[in-house]
Amino acid sequence: MTKKICVIGLGYIGFPTSLVFARAGFEVIGVDVSERVVSALNAGEVHIEENGLEEIFQDVRTNYAFKAQRHPEPADTYIIAVPTPVNADHTANVDYVVSATEAVLPYLRKGNTVIVESTIPPRTIDDVVAPVLTKAGWRVGEEIYLAHCPERVLPGRIFQELVENNRIVGGYNPQSAEKAAEVYRAFVKGEIILTSATSAEMAKLMENTFRDVNIALANELAKVSASIGVDALEVIGLANKHPRVNLHTPGPGVGGHCIAVDPYFIIEKAPELTPLMTASRAINNSMPAFVVEQTGKITPSHAGKRVAVFGITYKGNVDDIRESPALEVVHMLGENGFDVRVHDPHVLAELAPFPMFTAEEAVADAECLLILTDHNEFKALDLSLLSRMKSPVILDTKNCVESSHVPQSAGKLYNYGNLHELSRVDTVAVPVSQLA
Protein backbone atom coordinates (compact mmCIF):
# COMPACT_ATOMS: atom_id res chain seq x y z
CA MET A 1 0.00 0.00 0.00
CA THR A 2 1.21 3.43 -0.89
CA LYS A 3 2.66 5.29 2.08
CA LYS A 4 4.44 8.19 0.41
CA ILE A 5 3.13 10.35 -2.43
CA CYS A 6 4.99 12.93 -4.50
CA VAL A 7 2.74 15.48 -6.21
CA ILE A 8 4.31 17.36 -9.12
CA GLY A 9 2.65 20.76 -9.54
CA LEU A 10 1.15 22.73 -6.64
CA GLY A 11 -1.44 24.78 -8.49
CA TYR A 12 -5.22 24.91 -8.24
CA ILE A 13 -5.48 21.11 -8.35
CA GLY A 14 -2.13 19.77 -7.18
CA PHE A 15 -2.01 21.72 -3.92
CA PRO A 16 -5.52 20.82 -2.66
CA THR A 17 -4.94 17.22 -3.78
CA SER A 18 -1.72 17.13 -1.75
CA LEU A 19 -3.54 18.30 1.36
CA VAL A 20 -6.32 15.74 0.96
CA PHE A 21 -3.80 12.93 0.64
CA ALA A 22 -1.91 14.21 3.69
CA ARG A 23 -5.08 14.26 5.78
CA ALA A 24 -5.75 10.69 4.64
CA GLY A 25 -2.53 9.66 6.36
CA PHE A 26 0.06 9.74 3.59
CA GLU A 27 3.45 11.38 3.71
CA VAL A 28 3.19 13.94 0.91
CA ILE A 29 5.98 15.72 -0.93
CA GLY A 30 4.69 18.66 -2.96
CA VAL A 31 6.92 19.72 -5.83
CA ASP A 32 6.76 22.95 -7.81
CA VAL A 33 9.26 24.69 -10.08
CA SER A 34 8.31 28.07 -8.61
CA GLU A 35 10.57 29.16 -5.76
CA ARG A 36 7.90 31.71 -4.81
CA VAL A 37 5.29 28.98 -4.35
CA VAL A 38 7.61 26.66 -2.43
CA SER A 39 8.85 29.43 -0.15
CA ALA A 40 5.34 30.68 0.56
CA LEU A 41 4.05 27.21 1.47
CA ASN A 42 7.00 26.44 3.71
CA ALA A 43 6.36 29.76 5.45
CA GLY A 44 2.75 28.74 6.02
CA GLU A 45 1.25 31.03 3.37
CA VAL A 46 -1.20 29.84 0.70
CA HIS A 47 -0.71 31.09 -2.85
CA ILE A 48 -4.16 30.46 -4.32
CA GLU A 49 -7.73 31.18 -3.22
CA GLU A 50 -10.12 28.33 -2.43
CA ASN A 51 -12.83 27.86 0.18
CA GLY A 52 -11.39 26.29 3.32
CA LEU A 53 -7.85 26.18 1.95
CA GLU A 54 -6.10 28.19 4.65
CA GLU A 55 -7.74 26.29 7.49
CA ILE A 56 -7.00 22.89 5.95
CA PHE A 57 -3.42 23.87 5.17
CA GLN A 58 -2.76 24.96 8.73
CA ASP A 59 -4.32 21.72 10.00
CA VAL A 60 -2.06 19.69 7.70
CA ARG A 61 1.05 21.64 8.76
CA THR A 62 0.25 20.99 12.40
CA ASN A 63 -1.02 17.44 12.36
CA TYR A 64 0.05 15.69 9.15
CA ALA A 65 3.06 15.10 6.89
CA PHE A 66 3.43 17.59 4.02
CA LYS A 67 6.37 19.58 2.75
CA ALA A 68 7.01 21.62 -0.39
CA GLN A 69 10.23 21.57 -2.40
CA ARG A 70 11.61 22.21 -5.86
CA HIS A 71 12.57 18.63 -6.78
CA PRO A 72 11.02 15.16 -6.43
CA GLU A 73 12.34 12.43 -4.15
CA PRO A 74 11.73 8.68 -3.83
CA ALA A 75 8.08 7.83 -3.20
CA ASP A 76 5.56 5.05 -3.79
CA THR A 77 3.26 7.06 -6.05
CA TYR A 78 3.90 10.08 -8.25
CA ILE A 79 0.98 12.32 -9.21
CA ILE A 80 1.52 14.74 -12.08
CA ALA A 81 -0.75 17.78 -11.84
CA VAL A 82 0.99 20.34 -14.05
CA PRO A 83 -0.71 22.68 -16.55
CA THR A 84 -1.35 21.76 -20.16
CA PRO A 85 -1.15 25.08 -22.04
CA VAL A 86 -2.64 25.67 -25.46
CA ASN A 87 -0.37 26.61 -28.36
CA ALA A 88 -1.14 29.51 -30.67
CA ASP A 89 -2.86 27.09 -33.06
CA HIS A 90 -5.03 25.73 -30.21
CA THR A 91 -3.19 22.42 -30.03
CA ALA A 92 -2.18 21.05 -26.64
CA ASN A 93 1.29 21.71 -25.31
CA VAL A 94 2.18 18.60 -23.29
CA ASP A 95 5.77 19.72 -22.61
CA TYR A 96 5.06 20.24 -18.90
CA VAL A 97 3.64 16.73 -18.59
CA VAL A 98 6.69 15.30 -20.36
CA SER A 99 9.07 17.36 -18.20
CA ALA A 100 7.31 16.25 -15.02
CA THR A 101 7.52 12.62 -16.11
CA GLU A 102 11.21 12.99 -16.89
CA ALA A 103 11.77 14.69 -13.52
CA VAL A 104 10.65 11.60 -11.58
CA LEU A 105 12.71 9.12 -13.65
CA PRO A 106 15.79 9.23 -11.36
CA TYR A 107 13.63 8.33 -8.36
CA LEU A 108 11.45 5.56 -9.76
CA ARG A 109 11.61 2.11 -8.21
CA LYS A 110 10.00 -1.16 -9.24
CA GLY A 111 6.36 -1.23 -8.15
CA ASN A 112 5.86 2.56 -8.27
CA THR A 113 2.70 4.07 -9.73
CA VAL A 114 2.71 7.18 -11.93
CA ILE A 115 -0.63 9.00 -12.19
CA VAL A 116 -1.27 11.89 -14.57
CA GLU A 117 -4.07 14.16 -13.37
CA SER A 118 -3.30 16.91 -15.89
CA THR A 119 -5.88 17.30 -18.63
CA ILE A 120 -4.40 15.84 -21.81
CA PRO A 121 -5.46 14.97 -25.39
CA PRO A 122 -6.64 11.43 -26.14
CA ARG A 123 -3.82 8.87 -26.39
CA THR A 124 -1.28 11.06 -24.54
CA ILE A 125 -0.71 8.36 -21.91
CA ASP A 126 -0.14 5.69 -24.55
CA ASP A 127 1.69 7.74 -27.16
CA VAL A 128 3.64 10.29 -25.07
CA VAL A 129 3.98 9.44 -21.38
CA ALA A 130 4.45 5.66 -21.60
CA PRO A 131 7.30 5.97 -24.16
CA VAL A 132 9.19 8.26 -21.74
CA LEU A 133 9.08 5.52 -19.11
CA THR A 134 9.84 2.78 -21.64
CA LYS A 135 12.86 4.67 -22.96
CA ALA A 136 14.18 4.81 -19.39
CA GLY A 137 14.11 1.01 -19.33
CA TRP A 138 10.87 0.29 -17.48
CA ARG A 139 8.27 -2.28 -18.53
CA VAL A 140 5.17 -0.12 -18.18
CA GLY A 141 2.24 -2.00 -16.70
CA GLU A 142 4.52 -4.67 -15.23
CA GLU A 143 7.35 -2.97 -13.32
CA ILE A 144 5.93 0.56 -13.27
CA TYR A 145 2.19 1.26 -13.30
CA LEU A 146 0.77 4.20 -15.26
CA ALA A 147 -2.68 5.77 -15.23
CA HIS A 148 -4.67 8.87 -16.09
CA CYS A 149 -7.03 10.02 -13.33
CA PRO A 150 -8.48 13.35 -14.43
CA GLU A 151 -9.61 15.88 -11.85
CA ARG A 152 -13.25 16.90 -12.12
CA VAL A 153 -13.80 19.46 -9.38
CA LEU A 154 -15.47 22.86 -9.24
CA PRO A 155 -13.42 25.79 -7.91
CA GLY A 156 -14.97 26.92 -4.66
CA ARG A 157 -15.94 23.32 -3.82
CA ILE A 158 -12.65 21.56 -4.46
CA PHE A 159 -12.17 19.93 -1.05
CA GLN A 160 -15.72 18.65 -0.96
CA GLU A 161 -15.69 17.34 -4.52
CA LEU A 162 -12.24 15.72 -4.32
CA VAL A 163 -13.71 13.43 -1.71
CA GLU A 164 -17.34 13.05 -2.78
CA ASN A 165 -17.20 13.01 -6.58
CA ASN A 166 -16.96 9.82 -8.61
CA ARG A 167 -13.44 9.21 -9.87
CA ILE A 168 -12.43 7.88 -13.27
CA VAL A 169 -9.23 5.83 -13.21
CA GLY A 170 -7.82 5.10 -16.65
CA GLY A 171 -5.01 2.59 -16.66
CA TYR A 172 -2.34 1.97 -19.26
CA ASN A 173 -3.42 -1.62 -18.68
CA PRO A 174 -5.82 -3.24 -16.17
CA GLN A 175 -3.07 -3.77 -13.63
CA SER A 176 -2.18 -0.09 -13.75
CA ALA A 177 -5.82 0.92 -13.30
CA GLU A 178 -6.14 -1.24 -10.20
CA LYS A 179 -2.89 0.10 -8.69
CA ALA A 180 -4.02 3.71 -9.20
CA ALA A 181 -7.49 2.95 -7.85
CA GLU A 182 -5.91 1.68 -4.63
CA VAL A 183 -4.40 5.12 -4.11
CA TYR A 184 -7.69 7.00 -4.42
CA ARG A 185 -9.66 4.53 -2.31
CA ALA A 186 -7.90 6.03 0.69
CA PHE A 187 -10.21 9.06 0.66
CA VAL A 188 -12.67 9.03 -2.27
CA LYS A 189 -16.24 8.36 -1.12
CA GLY A 190 -17.71 8.46 -4.61
CA GLU A 191 -17.62 5.58 -7.07
CA ILE A 192 -14.21 4.73 -8.52
CA ILE A 193 -14.62 3.62 -12.13
CA LEU A 194 -11.80 1.70 -13.80
CA THR A 195 -11.29 2.04 -17.55
CA SER A 196 -8.55 2.52 -20.13
CA ALA A 197 -6.35 5.60 -20.15
CA THR A 198 -7.69 6.72 -23.54
CA SER A 199 -11.32 6.44 -22.42
CA ALA A 200 -10.50 8.43 -19.29
CA GLU A 201 -8.77 11.10 -21.36
CA MET A 202 -11.75 11.41 -23.71
CA ALA A 203 -14.33 11.34 -20.92
CA LYS A 204 -12.70 14.27 -19.14
CA LEU A 205 -12.56 16.29 -22.35
CA MET A 206 -16.16 15.50 -23.25
CA GLU A 207 -17.45 16.59 -19.85
CA ASN A 208 -16.20 20.09 -20.50
CA THR A 209 -16.98 20.05 -24.21
CA PHE A 210 -20.60 19.26 -23.34
CA ARG A 211 -20.70 22.36 -21.19
CA ASP A 212 -18.95 24.47 -23.82
CA VAL A 213 -21.49 23.51 -26.48
CA ASN A 214 -24.42 24.31 -24.21
CA ILE A 215 -22.95 27.65 -23.14
CA ALA A 216 -22.47 28.50 -26.81
CA LEU A 217 -26.17 27.83 -27.40
CA ALA A 218 -27.08 30.26 -24.61
CA ASN A 219 -24.66 32.88 -25.92
CA GLU A 220 -26.03 32.58 -29.44
CA LEU A 221 -29.55 32.96 -28.04
CA ALA A 222 -28.44 36.16 -26.28
CA LYS A 223 -27.14 37.62 -29.54
CA VAL A 224 -30.27 36.73 -31.48
CA SER A 225 -32.51 38.06 -28.73
CA ALA A 226 -30.68 41.39 -28.59
CA SER A 227 -31.01 41.68 -32.36
CA ILE A 228 -34.75 41.00 -32.62
CA GLY A 229 -35.93 42.61 -29.37
CA VAL A 230 -36.44 39.64 -27.07
CA ASP A 231 -35.66 39.22 -23.36
CA ALA A 232 -33.17 36.33 -23.48
CA LEU A 233 -33.31 35.71 -19.73
CA GLU A 234 -37.08 35.41 -19.80
CA VAL A 235 -36.89 33.02 -22.75
CA ILE A 236 -34.38 30.83 -20.89
CA GLY A 237 -36.61 30.77 -17.82
CA LEU A 238 -39.64 29.82 -19.90
CA ALA A 239 -37.82 27.15 -21.90
CA ASN A 240 -36.42 25.63 -18.72
CA LYS A 241 -39.97 24.98 -17.52
CA HIS A 242 -39.90 22.08 -19.96
CA PRO A 243 -38.99 18.92 -18.01
CA ARG A 244 -36.21 17.96 -20.43
CA VAL A 245 -34.69 21.39 -21.13
CA ASN A 246 -31.94 23.06 -19.12
CA LEU A 247 -30.58 26.04 -21.02
CA HIS A 248 -27.50 27.69 -19.57
CA THR A 249 -27.15 31.41 -18.88
CA PRO A 250 -25.25 33.62 -21.35
CA GLY A 251 -22.15 35.51 -20.28
CA PRO A 252 -19.06 37.39 -21.51
CA GLY A 253 -17.40 34.21 -22.78
CA VAL A 254 -15.89 31.06 -21.33
CA GLY A 255 -12.76 30.89 -19.20
CA GLY A 256 -10.77 28.70 -16.90
CA HIS A 257 -8.34 25.97 -17.81
CA CYS A 258 -11.09 23.46 -18.57
CA ILE A 259 -14.11 24.49 -20.63
CA ALA A 260 -12.22 27.07 -22.68
CA VAL A 261 -9.42 24.64 -23.48
CA ASP A 262 -10.52 21.01 -23.40
CA PRO A 263 -12.59 20.99 -26.63
CA TYR A 264 -9.49 21.96 -28.60
CA PHE A 265 -7.75 18.78 -27.42
CA ILE A 266 -10.43 16.74 -29.18
CA ILE A 267 -10.65 19.02 -32.21
CA GLU A 268 -6.90 18.72 -32.88
CA LYS A 269 -7.24 14.95 -33.21
CA ALA A 270 -9.97 15.12 -35.88
CA PRO A 271 -10.72 18.68 -37.04
CA GLU A 272 -12.77 17.51 -40.03
CA LEU A 273 -15.08 15.51 -37.72
CA THR A 274 -15.75 18.16 -35.07
CA PRO A 275 -17.71 21.03 -36.69
CA LEU A 276 -20.07 21.41 -33.72
CA MET A 277 -17.24 21.66 -31.20
CA THR A 278 -15.38 24.09 -33.47
CA ALA A 279 -18.44 26.30 -33.95
CA SER A 280 -19.12 26.34 -30.22
CA ARG A 281 -15.59 27.48 -29.50
CA ALA A 282 -15.95 30.25 -32.09
CA ILE A 283 -19.26 31.43 -30.60
CA ASN A 284 -17.91 31.56 -27.07
CA ASN A 285 -14.70 33.22 -28.23
CA SER A 286 -16.78 35.91 -29.93
CA MET A 287 -18.50 37.04 -26.73
CA PRO A 288 -15.81 39.51 -25.56
CA ALA A 289 -16.23 41.38 -28.85
CA PHE A 290 -20.00 41.31 -28.37
CA VAL A 291 -19.61 42.78 -24.88
CA VAL A 292 -17.36 45.55 -26.19
CA GLU A 293 -19.93 46.30 -28.87
CA GLN A 294 -22.68 46.69 -26.24
CA THR A 295 -20.40 48.90 -24.16
CA GLY A 296 -19.94 51.11 -27.20
CA LYS A 297 -23.70 51.49 -27.51
CA ILE A 298 -23.84 52.77 -23.94
CA THR A 299 -21.02 55.25 -24.52
CA PRO A 300 -21.31 56.69 -28.06
CA SER A 301 -18.28 58.65 -29.24
CA HIS A 302 -16.35 56.48 -26.86
CA ALA A 303 -12.78 57.72 -27.38
CA GLY A 304 -11.38 58.55 -23.97
CA LYS A 305 -14.57 57.62 -22.15
CA ARG A 306 -13.96 55.87 -18.85
CA VAL A 307 -15.30 52.37 -18.25
CA ALA A 308 -15.07 50.73 -14.83
CA VAL A 309 -14.54 46.97 -15.14
CA PHE A 310 -15.54 44.92 -12.12
CA GLY A 311 -14.06 41.43 -12.14
CA ILE A 312 -11.37 39.79 -14.28
CA THR A 313 -11.41 36.21 -12.93
CA TYR A 314 -13.15 33.61 -15.05
CA LYS A 315 -15.75 32.82 -12.37
CA GLY A 316 -17.04 34.32 -9.17
CA ASN A 317 -15.33 34.18 -5.79
CA VAL A 318 -12.03 32.77 -7.02
CA ASP A 319 -8.71 34.41 -7.92
CA ASP A 320 -8.15 32.37 -11.10
CA ILE A 321 -7.73 34.47 -14.26
CA ARG A 322 -6.62 31.65 -16.57
CA GLU A 323 -8.28 31.98 -19.99
CA SER A 324 -10.69 34.54 -18.52
CA PRO A 325 -12.74 36.28 -21.23
CA ALA A 326 -12.61 39.40 -19.07
CA LEU A 327 -8.96 39.83 -19.97
CA GLU A 328 -9.86 39.95 -23.66
CA VAL A 329 -12.68 42.41 -22.96
CA VAL A 330 -10.31 44.78 -21.13
CA HIS A 331 -7.74 44.49 -23.91
CA MET A 332 -10.30 45.20 -26.63
CA LEU A 333 -11.80 48.14 -24.73
CA GLY A 334 -8.35 49.69 -24.58
CA GLU A 335 -7.79 49.05 -28.29
CA ASN A 336 -11.05 50.84 -29.01
CA GLY A 337 -10.07 53.98 -27.14
CA PHE A 338 -11.77 53.52 -23.79
CA ASP A 339 -10.10 54.60 -20.56
CA VAL A 340 -10.42 51.35 -18.59
CA ARG A 341 -10.11 51.04 -14.83
CA VAL A 342 -10.14 47.50 -13.43
CA HIS A 343 -11.28 46.41 -9.99
CA ASP A 344 -11.29 42.86 -8.63
CA PRO A 345 -11.20 42.21 -4.87
CA HIS A 346 -10.02 38.63 -5.42
CA VAL A 347 -6.94 39.36 -7.56
CA LEU A 348 -3.70 40.55 -6.00
CA ALA A 349 -2.40 43.70 -7.67
CA GLU A 350 1.07 42.22 -8.13
CA LEU A 351 -0.38 39.24 -10.03
CA ALA A 352 -2.82 41.19 -12.19
CA PRO A 353 -2.11 41.82 -15.89
CA PHE A 354 -3.54 45.36 -15.64
CA PRO A 355 -3.26 48.22 -13.15
CA MET A 356 -5.80 47.62 -10.39
CA PHE A 357 -8.00 50.16 -8.63
CA THR A 358 -10.28 50.26 -5.64
CA ALA A 359 -14.00 50.19 -6.41
CA GLU A 360 -14.25 53.91 -5.67
CA GLU A 361 -11.29 54.77 -7.90
CA ALA A 362 -12.58 52.62 -10.75
CA VAL A 363 -16.06 54.17 -10.92
CA ALA A 364 -14.95 57.80 -10.46
CA ASP A 365 -16.22 59.73 -13.52
CA ALA A 366 -16.95 56.49 -15.38
CA GLU A 367 -19.70 56.39 -17.99
CA CYS A 368 -20.29 52.67 -17.68
CA LEU A 369 -19.80 50.05 -14.98
CA LEU A 370 -19.10 46.76 -16.71
CA ILE A 371 -19.50 43.64 -14.54
CA LEU A 372 -17.57 40.68 -15.96
CA THR A 373 -17.42 38.35 -12.94
CA ASP A 374 -20.14 37.32 -10.49
CA HIS A 375 -18.27 37.84 -7.23
CA ASN A 376 -20.53 38.07 -4.19
CA GLU A 377 -19.27 41.62 -3.69
CA PHE A 378 -20.87 42.59 -7.01
CA LYS A 379 -24.15 40.76 -6.44
CA ALA A 380 -24.70 43.03 -3.44
CA LEU A 381 -23.40 46.09 -5.25
CA ASP A 382 -22.87 49.20 -3.13
CA LEU A 383 -25.19 51.67 -4.86
CA SER A 384 -23.30 54.63 -3.43
CA LEU A 385 -20.64 53.84 -6.03
CA LEU A 386 -23.02 54.90 -8.78
CA SER A 387 -23.12 58.45 -7.45
CA ARG A 388 -19.42 58.74 -8.26
CA MET A 389 -19.99 57.96 -11.92
CA LYS A 390 -20.41 60.54 -14.65
CA SER A 391 -23.22 58.39 -16.03
CA PRO A 392 -24.61 55.72 -13.65
CA VAL A 393 -25.08 52.90 -16.16
CA ILE A 394 -24.35 49.24 -15.40
CA LEU A 395 -23.80 46.53 -18.00
CA ASP A 396 -24.02 43.25 -16.11
CA THR A 397 -22.72 40.47 -18.37
CA LYS A 398 -23.06 37.87 -15.60
CA ASN A 399 -26.71 38.63 -14.82
CA CYS A 400 -25.77 38.72 -11.14
CA VAL A 401 -27.26 42.04 -10.03
CA GLU A 402 -30.99 41.85 -9.35
CA SER A 403 -32.89 44.56 -11.20
CA SER A 404 -34.83 45.29 -8.01
CA HIS A 405 -31.52 46.11 -6.31
CA VAL A 406 -30.94 49.09 -8.63
CA PRO A 407 -33.87 51.54 -8.55
CA GLN A 408 -34.30 53.78 -11.58
CA SER A 409 -33.34 56.78 -9.46
CA ALA A 410 -29.90 55.21 -8.83
CA GLY A 411 -28.99 54.30 -12.38
CA LYS A 412 -29.72 52.16 -15.41
CA LEU A 413 -29.04 48.41 -15.39
CA TYR A 414 -28.54 46.44 -18.59
CA ASN A 415 -28.15 42.68 -18.78
CA TYR A 416 -28.97 39.94 -21.27
CA GLY A 417 -32.65 40.54 -20.61
CA ASN A 418 -32.80 44.06 -22.06
CA LEU A 419 -29.86 44.53 -24.42
CA HIS A 420 -32.38 45.18 -27.19
CA GLU A 421 -33.11 48.53 -25.52
CA LEU A 422 -29.65 49.83 -26.35
CA SER A 423 -29.27 52.23 -29.26
CA ARG A 424 -27.88 50.63 -32.40
CA VAL A 425 -25.94 53.67 -33.52
CA ASP A 426 -22.32 54.60 -33.06
CA THR A 427 -21.24 51.10 -32.07
CA VAL A 428 -17.67 49.96 -31.57
CA ALA A 429 -16.09 48.69 -34.77
CA VAL A 430 -14.67 45.34 -33.69
CA PRO A 431 -12.37 43.75 -36.29
CA VAL A 432 -13.93 40.70 -37.93
CA SER A 433 -10.81 38.69 -37.06
CA GLN A 434 -11.67 39.06 -33.36
CA LEU A 435 -15.14 37.56 -33.77
CA ALA A 436 -13.85 34.02 -34.34
Which residue among the candidates 6, 149, 204, 398 is catalytic per the annotation?
A: 204
Taking the C-alpha atoms of residue 115 and residue 325, their distance in angstroms, rounded to an integer, is 31
Q: Is 390 one of the catalytic residues?
A: no
Q: Is 179 one of the catalytic residues?
A: no
Which residue among the candidates 149, 179, 223, 258 is catalytic per the annotation?
A: 258
List residues with catalytic annotation: 204, 258
